[in-house]
Amino acid sequence: AAELEYESVLCVKPDVNVYRIPPRTSNRGYRASDWKLDHPDWTGRLRVTSKGKTAYIKLEDKVSGELFAQAPIDQYPGIAVETVADSSRYFVIRIQDGTGRSAFIGIGFTDRGDAFDFNVSLQDHFKWVKQETEISKESQEADTRPKLDLGFKEGQTIKLNIGNMTSKKAGAAKPRVSGSGGLSLLPPPPGGKTAVPPIPPPSSTAIANHVTPPPVQKSSNASSADILLDLDAPAAASKAPVSATTDLWGDFSTASSAVPNQAPQQSNWVQF
């Protein structure tokens, strides 16, 4: 895993001053006013890189890029990088060589903004390291937890009760055919026959006009002439009301003629 890690650059500052600092005699912290700030011991370029979870402060030559000193940082804030008590532009770092020897030196920036960028780059890197550690810890705890077996056992079944779905026996509702006038009529049932409307009975007028002749008996001695006379009798009787209707209109005419003519009244004016 270490071979797959690559080095990324977090911050680059072109001007940085390096100072030899006296050993700390108390626990009150470092003070930049105790250094010879007007006469730095070395001046060059500062570059902050990261490889994996470790950050590195590298002091390099401005022209050739040769490495002057390097300070690996495993924790921030910590003993590898400390701030001074009297300024925000100066820091104390612990440099190490390949043999394991270490020393504490002081670095300072001319611009206060460069010191701010240097501090923020280290804070962001170790904030990311903290998040990665928590994520890996949670994943390890999840692997150690007993896994739930949510599968069906042999022969185990479940039953779902869905109230909105209709059963197969009920079938789908039959569509309604809309007729005239906004009324909906049901279609005829399958395989059935349409009922034929009954024939209305003949009216009484038609029955009255239709005369069924009586059956002729072969044993009767009546002649055919007598039968014809019997058939003409109802026809003559039916003609009698017609004359009555004509007499009614005659009564109206006689009544109007019977009214005496009134004498015309004189239109004489009477003076009072």
Asked whether residue 26 is domain-assigned, the answer is yes
User: Residue 256 above 80 pLDDT?
Assistant: no
Structure confidence at residue 104 (pLDDT): 93
* Residue 24 in this model has a pLDDT that exceeds 50: yes
| Number of domains, the chain | 1
According to DSSP, the residues that pair with 178 across neighbouring strands are: 184
Asked if the peptide bond before residue 201 counts as cis, ω within 30 degrees of 0, the response is no
Question: Position 226: which residue type?
Answer: D
Range of the domain at 13: 7-141
Residue 151's pLDDT is: 77
The reported pLDDT for the residue numbered 140 is: 74
188 lies in a domain?
Answer: no
Residue 262 placed within a domain: no
Q: Give CA separation, 70 vs 8, 114, 137, 254, 271, in Å.
A: 15, 19, 31, 152, 154
Q: Is residue 242 part of a domain?
A: no
For residue 66, being part of any structural domain is answered with yes
Tens digits of residue pLDDT in 102-157: 999 999 999 999 999 999 999 999 999 999 888 888 877 766 767 777 777 787 88
What are the Cα distances from residue 1, in Å, to 10, 52, 249? 21, 9, 133
Please report, for the domain that includes residue 119, its CATH number.
2.30.29.30
Q: Are 79 and 70 in contact (CB under 8 A)?
A: no
Q: What is the pLDDT of residue 34?
A: 87
Q: Quick count: other Cβ atoms within 10 Å of Cβ 107?
A: 25
For 61-144, list the strands marked E by DSSP: 67-73, 81-83, 90-96, 102-108
Which pLDDT belongs to residue 144? 72
Q: What is the mean pLDDT of the chain?
A: 73
- Answer whether residue 44 is part of any domain: yes
Residue 168 resides in a domain: no
φ, ψ for residue 43, nearest 5 deg: -135, 135
Domain presence at residue 115: yes
The pLDDT assigned to 225 comes to: 47
Q: What is the pTM of this model?
A: 0.51
Q: What is the pLDDT of residues 164-207, one digit of tens each?
A: 665 555 555 555 555 555 555 666 666 655 555 566 665 555 45
pLDDT number for residue 133:
87
More confident residue, 97 or 201: 97
**210 or 59, higher pLDDT:** 59
Which one is predicted more confidently, 198 or 255? 198
Per-residue pLDDT of 216-247, as tens digits, reads 555 444 455 454 445 545 544 444 444 444 45
pLDDT at 86: 87
